[in-house]
Amino acid sequence: MTLTAGQKAPDFSAIDQQGAPISLSQFSGHKVVLYFYPKDSTPGCTAQACNLRDNHQQLVDAGYVVLGISTDSPKRHQNFIAKNSLPFALIADEDHSVHDLYGTWQLKKFMGKEYMGTVRTSFIIDEQGTLINIINKIKTKDHSAQILA
């Protein structure tokens, strides 16, 4: 399924790093940055998370709630948050059901091997739950600027 700007963002139910239920609909009335990334504590994912951390107040001031999502467990998310002082929730999508809704679980190639994995993508969602931007070419060290542009 390919999502495009102007469509309703698919609602989902998952759990956050504390194991608490989290869904897109609970953020109705807020703009949301829903960013899908491959794996906690890898260089690119850490750079991206830290860029969002360092510019978090600017994003909040612009009205955004930031939510990261990967297939890592809540425990891995807790460690990643603690290690990098992340001020936003991370969603554990271990069965990649939310990834499937957003089309970010895809066949990837690396060093001649094919495997299923997360395609790094950010979905910018308005207060009514409509996709207003989809960022596919993520600059991990400057992602906040891409969102605020």
The pLDDT tens digits for 2-39 are 899 999 999 999 999 999 999 999 999 999 999 999 99
Note the CATH architecture for domain 16-148.
Answer: 3-Layer(aba) Sandwich (3.40)
Helix (H, G, I), strand (E, B) or coil at 102: helix
Domains of the chain, by residue range, sit at: 16-148
Strand order in the sheet with 64-70: 21-23, 13-16, 89-92, 64-70, 31-36, 121-125, 131-135
Q: Band the pLDDT of 1: cuts 50, 70, 90.
A: low
50 is catalytic: no
Query: Which one from 9, 22, 45, 125 is the annotated catalytic residue?
Result: 45
d(CA 3, CA 66): 19
Q: For the chain, what is the mean pLDDT? A: 97
d(CA 61, CA 30): 12
**pLDDT tens sequence across 97-130:** 999 999 999 999 989 999 999 999 999 999 999 9
| Prediction pTM value | 0.96
d(CA 125, CA 112): 35
Quick one: 27 exposed, middle or buried, by C-beta within 10 A (0-12, 13-18, 19+)? middle
Please give the average per-residue pLDDT across 69-79, as a whole number: 98
d(CA 9, CA 24): 8
DSSP alpha helix (H) spans, 88-133? 97-102
Let me know: does 3 contact 102? Beta carbons within 8 Å: yes
d(CA 128, CA 116): 32
